[in-house]
Every structure is written in C-alpha cells, then in structure tokens.
C-alpha cells in the first residue's frame, strides 16, 4: 500500500486543509497467476470495475487487480480495502474472478451519491397511472383517397417521367421484362412496338391487383379496429393500476441499486473517488463467462457468453459467443457464429457481422458490413445497415416498430416489394411506398421486401425503412 501526500502552500488555512485532504490517495494491488489449459474458461463476477483483457502465447492466466481511494482517511480506506473482497481462484480448466462488496461504504458518516458516474444508466420513465382514464380508441378514417396515399409506378407515370428535362435514360427489369432506353429514338421506337403494349397491359393488371388487395386489407383493418374498441372497453383498469404501481416500486429499487453502486460519492461534504481495475492476460483460446454490472469491459479476439449490465462493452472479435447486453454502449469490430441480444442499448456499433443472429429491443444499432448468413430481429429502435456484401448468402431482417436504413447497392438481384397493410397511425392512417428518386425508396407500414429465391428477406411490421439501391 502506498500513501501519497501532496502539500500546496496557499495563504488561506481553510483552503490548505481542504486541498490536502482531497489529495490523499491510498491504493492496493493484487496479483494472481494460474497455469492453465489453452482453452481455459475465465468466469468474471464484478461490479463498478474497469476490466481489460489481452491475449498472449502462454498457457497461463495472470490477473492484476488495483483499487485506489482518494479523499478519505487511512483508516477508512483500510476498511474499504478489506470490504472489497477481491478473489481469484482457479485450476487448469477454470479460473473464477470475483469483486464483491458486502457493504459498499462501511463508514459512520453521512453519504451523498453524486450523479457524475462514468457508467451508463438509462433515464427511467415515470409511470403515470392516471393515463388509464384517458384510454380512447382513435377515430380512423377509412375513406381516404387510394390514389393519393398508395403510390406505385404505372405505365402512365413512366410516360410522363421519360423525356422529362430532356433525359431519356430508363431501365426497367422484372421477372418478364428487361427494357433499356438510352435515347429519345429508343423510346419512340419502343412505344410503337408490341412489347410496349404487353408491358403496359401487365403494369395495369398488376396495379389493379394491388388496388384490390389494398381494399381487402383496408376492410380487414377496419374490422380489427372495431375488435380493439371492444377489447379496450373490457380492460380491468383497477388491475392495471395495481400492476403500474408494482412496476413503479421495482423501478425505485433499480434507482437505489444504481446509487449504491456509484464510485463517486460525497462523505461529510468531502468528495471521495474510488477506482477499481482488473487487467487479465489469458491464452488466445480462453473463453469468458461474464456477469458484470456497472463495468467497463474490453475484450480482445475471444469467445464470450453471459450478461453485461449498466456499463460499456468493447470487443475486437467475438466468435462462437452468446451475450446479453443491457443499458450499455457497445462497440464490436467483428462478430461471427454468435448470438447477441441487445436490450435498451442506445448506441451500438458493429463493424462486421457473419453467421450470426442479433436480437435488439429498444436499441439503436449501426452495422457497417453484413457478410454471410445473418439474421436480425429488431423491436422499437433504429437500425442502420451501411453495406451488404455480394457474398451475403442469406440475410433475414425482421423489423417491429423500427426505423431502418438499408443500403442495397451491392445486391445484384431483383427485389419484390409488397405492402401488406396500413400503419397504425391516426395522423396518417395509410400504407405508402414513396419513390424518393430512381435509386431510393421509403416504405411505411407492414411490408415485405425479398428476392425471388428468398435468400434476401425483410419483413416489417409498423415500421419505416429507407432503401438505397
């Protein structure tokens, strides 16, 4: 243990005393080593700790744990050190690392928890049970004009588009036609051909088919709305109030738990700073079983499974992993052959995904590169896919109440767009396909986008997607 004292000469005695106390630092360091198998499992159970892992070529696990306290007396620091309960136990196949504190602040002082913790914690919403009295079924107008709300290409719209502003470049490709127009002469020649009439007739039939499907969908939605009205009238409001009150109490417990886990506190008006770090060196074949709370976790190329809550998570490469991450910013360079669940993650960045299933809930996710065999399921949040590689093999994307942006520029296949039913919106109770330009589309509502062989498949429910082609 090292004791460091910094003395500053200041004319005011009161300021001198305060500066001296705040400059006091006490620390303790622990070192443990284990001879292990190259595929050793390392289990980490920790809270409020910076955890950094690196690989080396030795069949050995080396653990360095460090704790530092600033702003308390030597006696108080000793109490805290004894109470940290750092422990590392292991054999050749498994190493267990634990940092638990039975009583976080064993001082007989007034303790005030500060709000400047570096760890991530969500803004928990406040429940208002009075909203139960306000539940009403919105009035939905089912008699809106189809032509204004349901936008699709037809032959007439293309006639008006080709030649506009002197531009005659036009390419139409579907399952039956492959039409290329590069000049005014090409266009005039095509309009006089039999192929033009066949193509125009087909487009009109397709449009009429879509119109009928829409009308049927509108009637079905109207019936569903009526059913929901009856359901809402039967809701047991008193029972729901009791459930909301129970949820409020649980949220209060979560807030209190977070406060007592903070490492920045005021004790008798004095700021106390506590720093805890664990550095682990492990064989390249090691796997990690994580159970962390309010921790900053940094992993190298490795295999990991378990739970990460209320902290941050960084990994270079994850392979054959299965992780659940809650309320923590996420940064992963590469993930392959894994399962990842993100819950209330407001900022997740993944550079590359291969042979992996990802589920998200109330999360915002950016993926730079999609490679082979990826399945994504999202519920409430944002999704941005910046690139889908040509060797993607199979990509399944399920959107629920999600805003998505998907770049399809490398997808060299024809896509089938199908809009199934209306969005659940009183402001705009319609389903839409808006053509932003010749290479971009925005779709709102319930929809399917797929290739003929279904190797590329997007299913959206009450979602919005912007597709760049």
Residue 346 scores a pLDDT above 50: yes
Residue 445's pLDDT band (cuts 50, 70, 90): confident
Identify the pLDDT of residue 408: 87
Q: Which residue has better confidence, 148 or 71?
A: 71
Query: What average pLDDT does the structure give for the chain?
Result: 76
Residue from 406, 205, 215, 423 nearest 432 by CA: 423
305-338 pLDDT tens trace: 999 999 999 999 999 999 999 999 999 999 999 9
Neighbours of 244 (CB within 10 A): 16
Encode burial over 60-95: b for 16+ CB neighbours within 10 A, e otherwise. Answer: ebebebbbbbbbbeeebbebbbeebebebebeeebb
Domains of the chain: 1-117+264-328 (2.160.20), 146-234 (no CATH), 329-469 (no CATH)
Q: Tell me, what's the pLDDT at 110? A: 39
Confidence of residue 152 (pLDDT cuts 50, 70, 90): very low
Question: Which two structure tokens, joined as six digits, stand for 291?
Answer: 């159970």
Across the range 389-413, mean pLDDT stands at: 90
Q: What band does 250 get if pLDDT is binned at 50, 70 and 90?
A: low
429 touches 391 (CB < 8 A): no
User: Which of 90, 106, 81, 103 lies closest to 29 in space, CA to CA?
Assistant: 81
Contact (Cβ atoms closer than 8 angstroms) between residue 39 and residue 286: yes
Give Dmax over CA atoms of the chain in angstroms.
Answer: 100
Least confident of 309-318, 361-370, 414-423: 414-423
Instruction: Indicate the range of 104-108, 185-189, 399-403 predicted with least confidence.
Output: 104-108
- pLDDT band at 419, cuts 50/70/90? confident
Q: Calculate what percentage of the chain has a pLDDT beyond 70.
A: 65
- Of 62 and 175, the structure prediction assigns the larger pLDDT to 62
Residues 415 and 457: beta-carbon distance below 8 Å: no
Under 8 Å between Cβ of 202 and 155: no
Pick the closest to residue 100 from 54, 60, 65, 53 (CA basis). 65
Specify the 3-state DSSP secondary structure of 189.
helix
* CA 315/CA 332 separation, integer angstroms: 5
> For the residues 206-231, what does the mean pLDDT come to?
72
Give the residue, 468 or 277, on which the prediction is more confident: 277
Per-residue pLDDT band at 188 (split at 50, 70, 90) = confident
């Amino acid at each position: 243990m090292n004791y460091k004292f910094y003395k500053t000469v200041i004319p005011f005695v009161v300021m001198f005393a305060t500066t001296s106390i705040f400059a006091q630092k006490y620390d303790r360091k622990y070192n443990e080593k284990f001879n292990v198998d190259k595929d050793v499992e390392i289990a980490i159970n920790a809270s409020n700790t910076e955890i950094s892992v690196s690989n080396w070529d030795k069949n050995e696990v080396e653990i360095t744990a460090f704790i530092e306290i600033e702003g308390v007396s030597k006696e108080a620091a000793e109490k805290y050190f004894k109470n940290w309960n750092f422990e590392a136990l292991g054999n050749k196949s498994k190493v267990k690392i634990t940092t638990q504190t039975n009583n976080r602040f064993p001082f007989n002082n007034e303790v005030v928890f500060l709000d400047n913790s570096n760890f991530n914690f969500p803004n928990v919403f406040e429940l208002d049970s009075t909203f139960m009295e306000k539940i009403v079924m919105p009035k939905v107008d089912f008699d809106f004009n189809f032509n204004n709300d349901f936008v699709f290409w037809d032959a007439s719209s293309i006639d008006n588009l080709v030649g506009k502003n002197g531009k005659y470049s036009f390419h139409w490709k579907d399952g039956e036609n492959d039409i290329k127009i590069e000049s005014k002469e090409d266009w005039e020649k095509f309009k006089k051909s039999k192929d033009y009439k066949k193509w125009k007739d087909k487009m009109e039939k397709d449009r009429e088919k879509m119109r009928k499907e829409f009308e049927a969908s509108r009637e079905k939605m109207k019936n569903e709305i009526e059913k929901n009205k009856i359901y809402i009238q039967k809701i047991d409001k008193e029972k729901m109030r009791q459930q909301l009150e129970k949820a409020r109490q649980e949220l209060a417990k979560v807030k209190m738990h977070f406060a007592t886990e903070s490492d920045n506190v005021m004790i008798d008006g004095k700021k106390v700073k506590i720093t805890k770090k664990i550095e682990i060196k492990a064989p390249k074949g090691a796997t990690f079983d994580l159970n962390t709370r309010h921790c900053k976790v940094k992993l190298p190329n490795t295999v990991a499974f378990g739970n990460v809550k209320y902290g941050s998570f960084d990994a270079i490469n994850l392979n054959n992993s299965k992780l659940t991450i809650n309320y923590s910013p996420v940064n992963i360079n590469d993930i392959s052959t894994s399962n990842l669940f993100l819950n209330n993650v407001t900022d997740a960045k993944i550079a590359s995904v291969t042979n992996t299933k990802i589920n998200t809930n109330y999360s915002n996710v950016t993926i730079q590169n999609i490679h082979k065999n990826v399945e994504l399921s999202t519920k409430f949040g944002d999704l941005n896919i910046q690139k889908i590689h040509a060797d993607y093999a199979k990509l399944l994307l399920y959107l629920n109440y999600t805003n998505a942006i998907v770049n399809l520029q490398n997808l060299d296949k024809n896509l089938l767009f199908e809009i199934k039913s209306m969005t659940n919106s009183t402001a705009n109770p319609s389903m839409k396909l808006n053509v932003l330009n010749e290479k971009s589309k925005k779709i709102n509502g319930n929809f399917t986008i797929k290739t003929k062989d279904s190797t590329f498949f997007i299913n959206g429910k009450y979602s919005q997607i912007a597709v760049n082609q």
